[in-house]
Amino acid sequence: MEDIKLGRTGLKVSRLCLGTMTFGWSSDEETSFAIMDTALDAGINFFDSADVYSRWIEGNNGGDSEKIIGKWLKTKNRRDIIIATKTRAQMWDGANGQGLSRSHIIHAVEDSLRRLQTDYIDLYQTHWPDDETPMDETLLALDNLVKSGKVRYIGTSNHPPSLMVESLWISDIHKISRYETLQPHYSMLHRKEYELELEKVCKKHNIGVIPYSPLAAGFLTGKYSRENKSPDSTRSSGGLIQNMLNNEKAYIVLDRVMEIADGYNVPPAQIALAWMLTKPTITAPIVGARTVEQLNDVIGATDLSLTDAEIQTLDEVSDGF
C-alpha cells in the first residue's frame, strides 16, 4: 500500500487509516490484536482512536480502545506506526472532565499516553468544538504539547469552515502549531458538509483530510438492502444509518456501486473507498472493522483505479447528498 504525505507535514501515512472505535466494544482484545496485525501486514501504518472509545458501553470507563492499542503496540516497532487519538469528551466527573480547556487537555493527554504505553502521540486531535473555551487557549495548550515532545502534530475533527479558518488565523498570529489535519464526516452519501466549503479551505491551506464514516455507517458495504434493513444490530439503530435505510435515492447509489463492484469482482466497500481516493484533498479515509474479514473486504481499495466514466457515474448518482 502506497504512502502519502499528511497535509503539509513531513509525515507519511498509508492511504487508509484504521479506525479503532470497535476495540473493547464489538471487538474483544484478541480480535482487535488480529485486526491490527492484519492492517500492519497490509501496509496500513496509520491508526486512529479517541480517549472516549468506548465510554458509552456499560462497564467501560473510556480509554478502552487506547488500552488495547497500547498493549499491542508494546510488541511492535513504535516508529513504524502512526498513532492518532482525540480528546474533548467527558472522561471524568466534574466541570473540567470534558472540553478543550488547558486543564482538560493537559490531564487528558497524560491519560492517553499512559493507556497507549508510549511517550508521544503522532497526531493529537480535538474531537469536536468547545464553544465554552477560547480557541487561543486550546491551541496554545496544544502547542505546548508539541514543544514538549509529547505530541508530534495536532489536528481536529467536526469543525465547520468558519472555525477552521479562525483556528488557522489564531495559530498564525501567535506563531504556534496549527491544525494540520481535519476529520470530516464524508462519504458518497454525505457530501455537502465537506464539499461545499471545507474542501476549499483544506485545499488552500494544505490540510490533511481523514474522513470518518466513508462507507456511510456500513450502508455502502452492501449488507443493507431494500428487503433487509436490519442485518446488523450494532449499526442499524444508529442515527447515521437510519437516514438512509428509508431513502430510495441511497439505494440507487448503492445499486451503481454494486454494479461497478461486480465488474471488478470486489466487495462494494472497495468501490466506495476507491471513489473517495480519487478526490485530490483526501489523505486517508478511516475504515473500521469488527473482524479481520471485514478489514480484508476493504484493504484492496487502494489498488483499484476507477475509470473516468465510473467516477462520473458515481459523482452524478450521489449528487445532492
Question: Which positions are annotated as active-site residues?
Answer: 53
Q: For residue 166, give the 3-state DSSP assignment.
A: helix
C-alpha cell at position 214: 466513508
- What are φ and ψ of residue 208, in 5° steps? -70, 135
Report the C-alpha gap between 78 and 76 in whole angstroms.
6
Please state, in angstroms and as integers, the Cα–Cα distance from residue 5 to each residue in 14, 53, 78, 181, following that order.
9, 27, 19, 11
Can you spell out the DSSP letters for 14-64?
A: ESSEEE-TTBTTTB-HHHHHHHHHHHHHTT--EEE--TTTTTTSTT--S-H
The answer to whether 70 and 118 are in contact (CB under 8 A) is: yes
Report the C-alpha gap between 214 and 276 in whole angstroms.
8
Report the C-alpha gap between 319 and 50 in whole angstroms.
32
